[in-house]
Amino acid sequence: MAGKRKWAWAGMAAIGLLLVTGAYLFAIAPLLATNTVRISTTGSDGDANYDALDPAVAYNSVDNEFFVVWAADNPDFADGKLEIYGQRVSVADGSNLGSAIRISFMGDSDAALQYDAQRPAVAYNPNMNEYLVAWQADDHTLGDNEVEIFARRLDGSDGSLLASQIRVSHVTDMGSNRDALNTAAAYSSQSNRYLVAWQADVQADNEVEIYGALLDDSGTEQVSDFRISTMGIDGDSAYRGQQPDVAYNGSNNEFYVVWSGDDPAQASGAYEIYGRHVNVLTGALLGSQQRLSTMGSADSDPNYSARKPAVAYSSSQNQYLVVWLGDDDVNGADDKYEIYGQRVSAANTEEGSDTRISTTPIDPNAVYKAINPDVAYDAAQDQYKVVWRGDQDNGSMVNDQFEIFGQLLSALDLTPDSGNSRVSVMATTDGDTRFGADRTAVAFAAGVDNELVVWQGKTDTVV
């Protein structure tokens, strides 16, 4: 793969979590740091050569626990060679259950630096009490730098590996300069099908669209490499679909895929968010793809765009909440990124207007930002939790001191429960931009008011 994606800060990155109830999170924010638990241990503390990156999380309803996955390198293999790991986490107190589990094995040797795995996604199968973990990787069975999507099943009771890792995508069959990237996954409990989605340049080099594959509960492909998005004219790399996410609608037994894309109806580079339903058995596309976001005052202006969507499904409302990072010409400031959301019906129509969720300070220079959101649905309270990475000028925080923030929203109409709340505390004293939090994910435990927020972070308590 084309080199290890080092984190923005030099030094050690580890996976942390916060396990909270909604009331506790919003009422007792000063105590959050005492509930931050470190999940990953990658290399020796103080050794900046080894990192844990890109966490994702799923909830296990059978055993009432969470499963967190991430990409990491460690001293057992070449520095910079990333593999996928997983960790069972207690719902009760956020403690690790057992040891971390290595999930991926890319290349014919752990010394083969050129073969590694990144960007994991995880879906839970309650019927079999199993997880499916998917990721992007290159392998010795392919050419170097030929990146495909792989997956593996794990036992939900103890995280043990079930069968071998499998190749899901077949993009590089079209040429060594093609890649499959940015994995997303969901599970249909009614039809025992997984949807794994990704972005790939199948039609032509750098002409990126969204693709998917349907796997049965044994991990066997039932429908392979079908196209989901149509952004622009085939072969025209000026228009792209990228950064997919997937949710499962249990009421209609359908998958819903969202992505960021630009289209000839907009200026090249003016990305907006799109969504489309997929049949769980055949992969047939249900209805047309629909544009869900409107960033900026004119589609002809590429300075304003929407990227990195995430989606969750509300069983009570039979609706989705799609969130994204957007630049929407706030007070005329370009590159003023905030988190926005849109409710979407089961018929793939917008319910209401785009809603701004994050509230970083308004400034003409756009120095404060909110980026990289995730969202989960809490069925017990009929609410969504949106989390993101951002910096603020409130309290003692300073520009470029990034932490994780969150917001609870009513699933009915997106009414917020209080204001944005800080989730992570990565430095003993605010004001030090060397320490902070990055990519985050969130999940709810069913039937209780517990949520798990995970992120990759660099803290001054590990030196």
Is 463 inside any structural domain? no
Give me the half-sphere count of Cα atoms (radius 13 Å) on the Cβ side of residue 414: 20
Structure confidence at residue 303 (pLDDT): 82
Which residues touch 224 (CB under 8 Å, ≥6 apart)? Answer: 168, 170, 213
Among 81, 79, 100, 97, smallest CA distance to 89 is for: 97
Is 95 inside any structural domain? yes
Percent of the chain with pLDDT over 90: 68
Among 77, 96, 80, smallest CA distance to 37 is for: 96
Among the ranges given (11-25, 60-74, 144-158, 310-324), the one the predictor scored with the smallest mean pLDDT: 11-25
Task: Specify the DSSP class assigned to residue 174.
Answer: G
Q: CA distances (Å), 453 to each of 122, 151, 199, 415, in order?
A: 15, 24, 26, 21
Structure confidence at residue 78 (pLDDT): 74
d(CA 254, CA 284): 10
pLDDT tens digit sequence for 188-247: 999 999 999 999 999 888 889 999 999 999 999 999 999 999 998 888 888 999 999 999
Cβ–Cβ under 8 Å, residues 111 and 144: no
Does residue 384 have a pLDDT over 50?
Answer: yes
Is 4 inside any structural domain? no
- DSSP reduced 3-state for 26: helix
Does residue 91 have a pLDDT over 50?
Answer: yes
Helix locations, 22-69, DSSP H: 22-27
d(CA 458, CA 437): 6
Give me the half-sphere count of Cα atoms (radius 13 Å) on the Cβ side of residue 461: 14
Cβ–Cβ under 8 Å, residues 429 and 438: no
Q: Which domain holds residue 124?
A: 14-458
Is 9 inside any structural domain? no
Is 8 inside any structural domain? no
Predicted TM-score of the model (pTM): 0.92
- Mean pLDDT over 8-20 rounds to 48
Number of Cβ atoms within 10 Å of the Cβ of 70: 32
Paired residues of 384 in beta bridges: 377, 409
Is 299 inside any structural domain? yes
d(CA 69, CA 77): 19
d(CA 63, CA 125): 12
Tokens of 407: 């917001």
pLDDT tens digit sequence for 150-165: 999 999 999 999 999 9
d(CA 188, CA 400): 40
| Model confidence band, residue 145 (pLDDT cutoffs 50, 70, 90) | confident
> How many domains does one find in the chain?
1
Burial class (CB within 10 angstroms; exposed 0-12, middle 13-18, buried 19+) of 80: middle
Among 65, 242, 86, smallest CA distance to 157 is for: 65
Is 3 inside any structural domain? no
Sheet holding 52-60, edge to edge: 52-60, 65-72, 83-90, 96-102
d(CA 29, CA 459): 18
Among the ranges given (108-112, 117-121, 334-338), the one the predictor scored with the smallest mean pLDDT: 334-338
CATH code, domain with 392: 2.120.10.10
Structure confidence at residue 235 (pLDDT): 83
Q: Which residue has the higher pLDDT, 293 or 35?
A: 293
d(CA 300, CA 309): 21
Structure confidence at residue 93 (pLDDT): 86
d(CA 309, CA 199): 13
Between strands 65-72 and 83-90, the pairing is antiparallel
Q: CA distances (Å), 368 to each of 22, 359, 391, 392, in order?
A: 26, 10, 6, 6
Is 6 inside any structural domain? no
Torsions phi, psi for 384 (to 5 deg):
-105, 150
Torsions phi, psi for 26 (to 5 deg):
-90, -20
